[in-house]
Structure 1
């Protein structure tokens, strides 16, 4: 099961540069990266609304949402910054360099989150193997940027 989930996550990762390229193309047609990001979220929101309604979500959803900590609501704003930024950056840096840097940032900060157990994540101490893995990604970023 673990390998299936790992393959699934890998395939989800493959979708990210496709999404970014499509959003960048939309941004160039609209001549407005922020409008392309808005379209992205409206389309995604409509799809999620249909799925949630189709799943017949329990009626206590609003009550449960009110009980969530304030910081749990920040994810949507992070998504908006990410999508808007990537629409602007991919045409300028290219997809490979943009996503190499994204992966580097994700892994570097993931080590911090894991090590300190931030945001309710189970503590997984940083070790030299994990640091070496991030350094290999950094080396990859430098190679991609050079060539």
Structure 2
């Protein structure tokens, strides 16, 4: 099961540069990167609504809203920032360099989240091998940027 989930993560990850390129294209067509981000979220919200209605997902929204910690709502803000900046960065840096830097940032901060077990994550201490893996990503970014 773990390998299936790893493969799924790889496949879903491969969609991000495609999404970014399509959003960047929409942003240049609209001449408004933030409007493209809004369209992205509107289409995504509509699709999710259809899936929720179609799957007859139990809706205990009011109860869930009351129980969720305040910081849990920041994810929507972070998604807006991420998508908006991707639309700005990809046309200027290219998909490979943009996502290389994004992945480096993600992995670097993920090591910290894991190490301290923040947000309820299982603790996985930072070690030199994990740091080395992130530094290899940085080396790849430097090669991508150079050539």
Q: Root-mean-square deviation (CA), in Å?
A: 0.8
Deviations 1:16-71 (A, max 9, x none): 00000000000010000000000000000000011111222224232112210000
**SS of residue matched to 2:125:** coil
Q: Which residue of 1 aligns with 2:120?
A: 120
Please report the TM-score for the alignment, with normalisation by the length of structure 2.
0.97
Counterpart residue number, 2:145: 145
Of residues 82-91 and 48-57 in structure 1, the stretch that sits farther from structure 2 once superposed is 48-57
Determine the C-alpha separation between the residues in 2 that align with 1:104 and 1:47.
Answer: 30
What runs of 5+ residues in structure 2 fail to find an aligned partner?
A: none
TM-score for the superposition, normalised by structure 1:
0.97
Q: Is residue 136 of structure 1 aligned with residue 115 of structure 2?
A: no
- Separation in 1, partners of 2:140, 2:63: 46
Runs of 4+ in 1 over 4 A off after TM superposition: none
Provide the rounded CA distance (Å) in 2 between the counterparts of 1:14 and 1:56: 29
* Inter-partner Cα distance in structure 1 for 2:14 and 2:95: 11
| Equivalent residue runs for 1:101-112 within 5 Å | 101-112=101-112
Number of corresponding residues: 147
Gaps of 5+ in 1: none
Distance 2:68 2:76 in 1: 14
Aligned to 2:28: 28
Displacement of 1:130 after TM fit? Answer: 0.2
- In 1: Cα distance, 2:88 partner to 2:102 partner: 14
